[in-house]
Structure 1
Amino acid sequence: MHQNRRNFLQLGAISLFTLSSNSNLFAGTKIITKEDLYIAKKDYDVFQSVRNKLKLVQTYIGYGNFNIINLDTMLRISKNASNIEEFTKAEIDFLEFIFYYNPSSHGFFGERISNNITDTIDKKIITKIPRTGHYLFKGKAEKTYYEMTNDVGSSLTLTSGIRSIVKQTKLFLDKINAVEGNISVAAKSIAPPAFTYHAIGDFDVGKKGFGYANFTSRFANTNEFKKIKELKYVDVRYTINNKDGVRYEPWHITTI
């Protein structure tokens, strides 16, 4: 695996995996506009096989460990595990394309956080938060979280902490699948893998027992969020009409 493939788009990725305004991965299920970009229908099989293998690796090593896994470890597991097939060249090309492409072409203007698809999270500087299955970076992120739980109350919980490139890739591809192959729509909810602040310190919080609603605008109506707004040491990353082109995320806490 090359350590840096930022020139991947210039090497023909567009001809391999076309972000297209007139090709719908799920053809015939939705009206396509020129503003929205889709993964081309011809890449459907590779797209789905990558999603399936990522899911199998996650099941194999556990959800908590999957949050911090790097690409090389993921590829090694897929190769050696008896119930997972090794990633093909086409599938690795797809992973690299999704990592290195420029999402500003479809309205996502977030900062590129990771430059190399093989970036690794240093386990010496992270800590697992009990009863959540998630990790935070030691220092400001961990301190901020525990201050919040102390000030807001025990009903506040960590819903998503550190996310490796592999974890963010899975989330992004699953979101693309959920919105019928529409990358433009997916990127408004889940940052492309190279652009997530979860890789360097941000984290999500929610109300215990609130389930998936913690990741919707309904969280802004909870008493927990009302208390969060009063905390002078806490900032929400994705405010209403934020410059990154991301939906409003009242649960997304920045420590950067």
Structure 2
Amino acid sequence: MNRRAFLRQICIASAMAIPCNALAAEFPEEEPQEQQEQYDLHVKDYISKMSHFDLAHPDDIILKDEELELLKNCTAKITRVMRTVGYGNFNLISVDQAFLFGRQYSRIGAFSTKEKEFLEKIFYYDADALGFYGDKPITAFTQTISRKDVIKIRHSGHYIFKGHPFEVWKEIKSALSSDVILTSGVRGVVKQFHLFLMKASSNGGNLSLASRSLAPPGYSFHGISDFDVGQKKYGEFNFTSRFTETRVFNKLNELGYLTLRYPRGNLLGVRYEPWHVKVSL
């Protein structure tokens, strides 16, 4: 059994108060007591990390030396890409487009071969090793998003995918009118890279810490369907647990629109995100 399945088993056992030795049959090569001790250790470790998602932990994966420098350089260049193409456009651009802009604009600077290889390595990195256990809906490093497949939401700077995601947004907007705002919609691979690398860079290259707050590139469902909502004039608190105190949250929860991608106590290695609307395709 791999680490992902193992962690899910022990977390489920813990949450349901099932005696750990009830699962021992799946590990016949180990003694029940050894199995229970192993379960207990992993459960405590997981709960501790998710309770303190924004703190470093002893077994976190942290980049050092050349890789840390590559992380900082790539973060800076991607930030310059964003400033060059504009915030709204940045949500949609692909990796190849970002590389092209780097070559075309001296204020960005061309991405070196090592920087490109670094970004590709991060994209294809096994997120399980970071402690992130979600699915990966985007498997191509060079994924592109066509403008014909999205709709720009006025006054937000964000886009939503046409079809079911847009229908869900219209229903939410109709139910809450001007109270609700779209805080994040479609995110291409480059946008997710920027968010993830910024978080890792600001925490000394800690990839594991970043993954507890942000899906690694390729693992975000913002790239295919999901979006975030918030309470108007609530600012940064829309991305904290205080969002649950708002009229928007309570109304959407009451109407059944908040089928969360990352609910409280989830086993995916991601903090609770009450603002993240899961859109099933």
Same fold (TM over 0.5): yes
Deviations 1:203-254 (A, max 9, x none): 0001111111111111011111010101134411110111211100000001
**Is 1:99 the equivalent of 2:105?**
no
C-alpha root-mean-square deviation of aligned residues, in Å? 1.4
Structure 1 position 42, deviation (Å): 3.2
Matched residue SS, 1:38:
coil
Matched residue SS, 1:153: helix
Would you say the 8 A contact 2:260–2:273 is kept in 1?
Answer: yes
Aligned equivalents of 2:57 and 2:91: distance in 1?
Answer: 35
Aligned: 1:191 with 2:210: no
d(CA) in 2 for partners of 1:63 and 1:56? 11
Distance 1:33 1:64 in 2: 35
Report if aligned partners of 1:35, 1:106 keep a CA contact under 8 Å in 2: no
Three-state SS of the structure 2 residue aligned to 1:184 is helix
Q: Does 1:219 align with 2:243?
A: yes
Mark the runs of 5 or more structure 2 residues left unpaired by the alignment: 1-54
How far residue 165 of structure 1 moved from its aligned partner, in angstroms, is 0.4
Deviation of 1:43 (Å): 2.1
Q: State whether structure 2 residue 126 is matched by structure 1 residue 68.
A: no
Deviation at 1:153, TM superposition (A): 3.1
Using the size of structure 1 for normalisation, the TM-score is 0.85
* d(CA) in 2 for partners of 1:70, 1:78: 12
Q: Secondary structure at the match of 1:136?
A: strand
**Structure 2 CA distance for aligned equivalents of residues 114 and 102 of structure 1:** 13
Larger CA deviation: 37-46 vs 78-87: 37-46
Contact in 1 for aligned 2:252/2:258 (Cα 8 Å): yes
Amino acid at match of 1:214: N
* Structure 1 residues 129-140: aligned runs within 5 Å: 129-140=153-164
5+ unaligned residues in a row in structure 1: which ranges? 1-30
Which TM-score applies when normalising by structure 2? 0.77
Runs of 4+ in 1 over 3 A off after TM superposition: 31-34
> How far apart are residue 179 of structure 1 and its match?
2.6
Aligned with 1:39: secondary structure?
Answer: coil
Q: CA deviation at 1:58?
A: 0.6
Q: Which has the larger radius of gyration?
A: 2
The residue correspondences of 1:200-215 to structure 2 (distance < 5 A) are 200-215=224-239
CA shift for structure 1 position 52: 0.8
Contact 2:261–2:277 (CA under 8 A) maintained in structure 1: yes
- Give yes or no for the alignment of 1:56 onto 2:56: no
CA distance in 2 between counterparts of 1:119 and 1:173 reads 18
SS at match of 2:182: strand
Q: How many residues align?
A: 226
- Percent identity, aligned pairs only, is 40
SS in 1 for 2:255: coil
